[in-house]
């Protein structure tokens, strides 16, 4: 699953979830803007940077999502942070947050970075230790869905969708949160059947979602740019993975049924 793109979208659209995750009031998000930053003259890219908006008292947060073992991660993070601060002088202090699916993935060497952990300058979050999904805030529960076991992910997602729809005082944008849940499932289960998709979303709802519309438009735009047929056929598997029928994909992309069937094999 493309966890980097999922987390980028999550951070970009739901800043408050990040601050809930690090045990700060969700309203803290009102003081920040988010971006993913590439540090000049290096191959470094910082997954997420939360920059205070005209507030010298609030720290800059550097977020790193790490779903693969990396023994050098902490020396790399410290290097990225200080290089960024050198290139972007500011009066704010900083904090680092590393997000892991579990402790087993955390293989980073800490010998040369002990002081950063002792001072809580860098904190580590293990998603599988956040608690039971049903008892978590909706935003954090959505993050935990990313690491949910495939045997239980569909049931958990359905409960999360129902909970999101039934919460009257939800502070997060409901439609965008539902789209994020859907996106997580699409990436998590690329071969999910039409019946499973219909069970969770309803086909008419699915066709209105961002994932469907983006896939449809992607096929059309690529078709215009590249002339054609080949680009549209490349979009077929993505639409089929959303649970659409061959006929519906053919209609969306302006293809015939035989073309869709061949492209989907």
Q: How far apart are CA 180 and CA 166, in angstroms?
A: 17
Considering only residues 256 and 60, tell me which one the structure prediction assigns the higher pLDDT: 60
pLDDT digits (tens, 9 = 90+) for 164-176: 888 777 667 777 8
Q: How far apart are CA 241 and CA 200, in angstroms?
A: 14
Position 18 scores a pLDDT of: 93
Q: How far apart are CA 122 and CA 70, in angstroms?
A: 16
Considering only residues 9 and 34, tell me which one the structure prediction assigns the higher pLDDT: 34
DSSP summary character for residue 135: G
Place of tokens 């990225």: 80
Question: Could you state, in order of their start, the residue ranges of all structural domains in the chain?
Answer: 3-193, 210-263
Is residue 176 within 8 A of residue 13, CB to CB? The reply is: yes
State what percent of residues in the chain have pLDDT above 70.
79
The tokens describing 159, both together, are 């409960």
Position 182 scores a pLDDT of: 78
The tokens describing 81, both together, are 């942070």
Is residue 182 within 8 A of residue 211, CB to CB? The reply is: yes
Q: How far apart are CA 198 and CA 154, in angstroms?
A: 12
Return mean pLDDT, the chain: 81
Q: How far apart are CA 201 and CA 182, in angstroms?
A: 8
Position 70 scores a pLDDT of: 94
Position 27 scores a pLDDT of: 92
- Mean pLDDT, residues 40-45 taken together: 59
Position 226 scores a pLDDT of: 46
State what percent of residues in the chain have pLDDT above 90.
35
DSSP H helices in 146-256 = 150-166, 174-188, 194-201, 203-206, 210-226, 229-241, 246-253
- Confidence label for 114 from pLDDT (cuts 50, 70 and 90): very high
The tokens describing 108, both together, are 């980073």
- List the beta bridge partners of residue 97: 63, 123
Considering only residues 38 and 99, tell me which one the structure prediction assigns the higher pLDDT: 99
Position 210 scores a pLDDT of: 56
Position 220 scores a pLDDT of: 56
- Mean pLDDT, residues 83-87 taken together: 89
Judged against a pLDDT cut of 70, whether residue 61 lies above it is answered with yes
- Confidence label for 230 from pLDDT (cuts 50, 70 and 90): confident
- Confidence label for 213 from pLDDT (cuts 50, 70 and 90): low
Position 195 scores a pLDDT of: 56
- Mean pLDDT, residues 232-253 taken together: 74
Position 203 scores a pLDDT of: 40
Judged against a pLDDT cut of 70, whether residue 21 lies above it is answered with yes
- Confidence label for 209 from pLDDT (cuts 50, 70 and 90): low
């Amino acid at each position: 699953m493309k966890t980097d793109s999922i987390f980028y979208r999550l951070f970009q659209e739901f800043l408050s979830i990040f601050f809930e995750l690090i045990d700060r009031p969700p309203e803290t998000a009102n003081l920040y803007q988010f971006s993913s930053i590439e540090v000049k003259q290096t191959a470094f890219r910082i997954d997420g940077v939360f920059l205070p908006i005209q507030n010298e008292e609030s720290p800059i947060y550097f977020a790193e999502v790490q779903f693969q073992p990396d023994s050098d991660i902490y020396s790399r993070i410290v290097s990225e942070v200080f290089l960024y601060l050198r290139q972007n002088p500011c009066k704010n202090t900083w904090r680092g947050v590393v997000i892991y699916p579990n402790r087993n993935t955390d293989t980073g060497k800490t010998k040369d970075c002990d002081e950063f952990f002792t001072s809580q300058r860098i904190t580590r979050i293990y998603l599988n230790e956040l608690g039971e999904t049903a008892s978590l805030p909706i935003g954090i529960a959505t993050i935990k869905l990313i690491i949910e076991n495939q045997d239980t992910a569909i049931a958990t997602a359905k409960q999360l969708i129902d909970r999101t729809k039934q919460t009257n005082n939800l502070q997060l944008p409901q439609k965008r949160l539902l789209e994020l849940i859907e996106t997580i499932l699409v990436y998590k289960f690329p071969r999910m059947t039409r019946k499973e998709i219909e069970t969770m979303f309803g086909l008419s709802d699915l066709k209105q979602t961002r994932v469907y519309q983006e896939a449809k438009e992607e096929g059309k735009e690529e078709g215009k740019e590249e002339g054609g047929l080949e680009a549209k056929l490349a979009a077929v598997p993505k639409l089929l993975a959303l649970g659409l029928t061959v006929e519906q994909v053919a209609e969306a992309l302006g293809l015939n049924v035989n073309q869709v069937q061949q492209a989907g094999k």
